[in-house]
Structure 1
Amino acid sequence: MSAAISVPVVKGWCPGLFAPMQAQDGWLVRVRPPLGRMTAAQARLVADSAEQDGNGQISLTNRGNLQLRGFKPDAALAFSRRMVEAGLGLADPEAERRTALQLSPLAGLDPACAAGALRCAERLYAGLAGSAALSALPDKFGFCVDGGGFFPTGVLQADIMLQAAGADGVSGAGGGLWRVVSGSACTVAQGPEEAVQTALALAGAYCEAYVRQGEKKRPLRVPSVGESLFAEIGLRPDAVGMASVAQAPRVRAGYLVGAASAAVAPLGRMTGTMLRACAAVAEEGDGVLRLTPWSGLIFSGLTKLPDLEGMITRPDDARLRVHACIGVSGCAQAVRDVGQDALSLAPFVPEGEILHVSGCSKGCAYPAVAEVTLVAGAEGYGLIRHGRAGDEPVRYVSGWEEVRACVQAPPEGERN
């Protein structure tokens, strides 16, 4: 059975606005709305493009991007021009690629989120767009401005992070101060302008190492890289501060805080019709859709979040407990319809736990540790407990009843 799970091909890059990627179901195109925000009109344009030029399928990625599927080559190349004209990307391909920046999705809405988060993100975005030397950054290298609040500091994760610091200098909104975090290293609290410059300097140091040594380890994946970057720019890490600790949002769908509510696309997948419906809902409020790294859209100014067909709008929906990649329909490396399997298993996932059903051992849909991970093979699934898709399975399961039983509760011999 173990031989049935093949070693996947790792491409090492992500599609971008100017870099479509060929997949099993056609070409993938991706758009990254600046600072994770788009207007209702922009959302309708994306929905129209998905239906007219692709197969109508849209994915909300864990980087706050929109990914459209099923494009033909000519349509994929024309997509970038339409998005730039609509204000959903930069005209310079290298500047567009450099600005992989996420912002707390509740910035400006949540009074507990750092008041200067949006302005800080705008400064960093401008700095990245204007720093041609940072074009050497690898495709997956990313930044974030994490203002804390309802979504606690640590919900956003990136290679270089600006995290709001409280008056005492530790994580927490307030005081207008920021810590710059890269891997296992962090600075003392800094003012916003100094923090932005520190982040750009760390990125420059990584570029020099990347070009000079061909180094591909990133701080987000190899935390010790952050310490070496601090040394490169002559900056001593804060001896008493803690580096970033990953957090999970306690609520992802439904009412959040203030006048903000959220809807989540199951498995991060939606259609053009669903996105168009979300645009109509946004217009009942402030007209803006804010993307989250957990496949959600946040609305503000609504008196009530209406039912959105196909979307998750309740915080206790079991589908929030499962993650799965596109599977056999869109990836040549997958052998099963893992998405349908994940949704079928969702009701059996214990509350508070995560099930990850992966088409191969790359684990694209959920790179973090899950309570249960199932990795597809030709004859069934490799079962991993409290690990990632690339870990060694504890055993292999094939019958559906056996798979369901493994999700509900581990046998005594498999308990940690």
Structure 2
Amino acid sequence: MTVPQIKGYCPGALRPMQSGDGIVVRIRPFNGRLRRAQADGIATLAAAHGNGMIDLSSRGNLQIRGVTEATYPALIEGLRRMGLLDPDEAIESRRNIIVTPFWQTGGETEALAPALTEAISAADAPAIPGKFGFAIDTGRQPVLQTASADIRLERDAGGGLILVADGSDKGKAVSIETIIDEAMALARWFMETRTDQNRMAALLRDGAALPADHFIPRQKQTHVPAPGYTPLGAMVGLAFGQLPVKTLASLAKQGGLRMTPWRMLLVESARELPGVDGIITDPNDPLLRVIACTGAPRCAQGQAKTRPLARTLALHLKDGAFLHVSGCAKGCAHPKPTHLTVTATPDGLNLIRDGRADDAPDRAGMTPEEIIKAL
């Protein structure tokens, strides 16, 4: 069996990653939002310096694919002029922040995102691991609890702000004035307490005890992300998080774009999206319940063309079931368990029920036709 190579870091713009279809350049939109001009500019740059395909990641970041060594400098200069780059690679690596897309103009969330960015960018900020991240989930109800994050800013049932370590069902009471400093203090606690753990939940699973002031019960998320209209604009889905440049440019004409970790975008103030190809607006579309990585040949470690397979399997998926199709055992697109996971190997497809891409398969070496029958 081929063992996938684990890079140990996520790509950035200043620290890109080589893949099967060229260099992958990841853009981390500041405060989880792109202005219309920025979104349109990214589409133009991706068309000129990449292969015309953009991915929306599970952390709400955009990845320009197919960049070459020759086109990379011009792409970076374009991103710099649009204000989409961090001052340096170290700050970029630390700035993993997911922001609820449902923030209101003038509200606390809008102020917290840049404040957290400033704190992470400070010279004395803790040197957290590259995949360690933050979630600003400070609406009335949590919506980001299924997204990958290690330190979470949430509200308790009474509306008070709490700071939560991922993996705990309780948080610490904080205020708008103290929450950023407390988040940095919790990050420092993680760095001082850990041994070889890179994620907060792993540290807590290994027995680390949080400070005694983490005792406020968390709310449980009931929000189910779906395409549709919201008071803030239109939520649209993207099959596998894939975004052709024409689709991004068309969406940019409709309004500013707020990122989500659900492979959806919130188009600000939009009430109609006429003629925008490449989006999902039907909340019952089965493609919304299918996750698939880039796969072969765009990923050098992919053992199969995952997305054509995922489109085929989606037609046979039972109501309510979620499917993850992974090109290798790394499971980059979805590291958590799923109802059904199909992992590509050199010897065929492995089917895993209620597990992750690297779990022991229920059945191994299957063909696509056998997978369809098993669904």
Alignment of 1:239-258 (within 5 A): 239=215, 241-242=217-218, 247=221, 249-255=223-229, 257-258=230-231
Pairing partner for 2:98 from 94, 99, 102 = 102
Indicate the residue corresponding to 2:174 in structure 1: 190
Tell whether the 8 Å contact from 1:44 to 1:275 is kept in structure 2 after alignment.
Answer: yes
> Which one has the bigger helix percentage?
1
TM-score scaled by length of structure 2: 0.92
Pairing partner for 1:202 from 180, 186, 190 = 186
Deviations 1:306-358 (CA, angstroms, capped at 9, x unpaired): 35211111111111011111111211211210111001111211121111111
- Is the partner of 1:192 in helix, strand or coil? coil
Tell whether the 8 Å contact from 2:150 to 2:200 is kept in structure 1 after alignment.
Answer: yes
Pairing partner for 1:165 from 132, 138, 156 = 156
Indicate the residue corresponding to 2:121 in structure 1: 129
- Rounded Cα–Cα distance in structure 2 between residues aligned with 1:75 and 1:386: 42
- Rounded Cα–Cα distance in structure 2 between residues aligned with 1:322 and 1:221: 26
Indicate the residue corresponding to 1:139 in structure 2: 130
Indicate the residue corresponding to 1:69 in structure 2: 65
Identify the range of structure 1 (186-195 vs 158-167) with the bigger mean alpha-carbon deviation.
Answer: 186-195
**Cα displacement (A) at 1:277:** 0.9
- Is the partner of 1:276 in helix, strand or coil? helix
TM-score scaled by length of structure 1: 0.83
**Cα displacement (A) at 1:397:** 4.9
**Cα displacement (A) at 1:93:** 2.8
- Rounded Cα–Cα distance in structure 1 between residues aligned with 2:273 and 2:139: 24
Tell whether the 8 Å contact from 2:330 to 2:358 is kept in structure 1 after alignment.
Answer: yes
- Rounded Cα–Cα distance in structure 2 between residues aligned with 1:194 and 1:226: 27
Residue 138 and residue 179 in structure 1: after superposition, are their counterparts in 2 closer, same or farther (change >3 A)? closer
Structure 1 outlier segments of 4+, above 6 Å: none
**Cα displacement (A) at 1:105:** 0.9
**Cα displacement (A) at 1:239:** 3.8
**Cα displacement (A) at 1:222:** 4.3
**Cα displacement (A) at 1:146:** 0.5
- Coordinate RMSD, CA, aligned: 2.4
Alignment of 1:164-313 (within 5 A): 164-167=155-158, 174-175=159-160, 177-184=161-168, 186-208=170-192, 215-224=196-205, 227-228=208-209, 230=210, 235-239=211-215, 241-242=217-218, 247=221, 249-255=223-229, 257-282=230-255, 288-313=256-281
Tell whether the 8 Å contact from 1:40 to 1:289 is kept in structure 2 after alignment.
Answer: yes
Residue 65 and residue 202 in structure 1: after superposition, are their counterparts in 2 closer, same or farther (change >3 A)? same
Q: Which runs of 5 or more structure 2 residues have no equivalent in the other structure?
A: none
Give the partner amino acid of 1:260. G
- Number of aligned positions between the proteins: 375
Q: Which runs of 5 or more structure 1 residues have no equivalent in the other structure?
A: 168-173, 283-287, 408-416
- Rounded Cα–Cα distance in structure 1 between residues aligned with 2:79 and 2:257: 16
Pairing partner for 1:20 from 16, 24, 47 = 16
**Cα displacement (A) at 1:43:** 0.8
Tell whether the 8 Å contact from 1:218 to 1:225 is kept in structure 2 after alignment.
Answer: no
Tell whether the 8 Å contact from 1:324 to 1:356 is kept in structure 2 after alignment.
Answer: yes
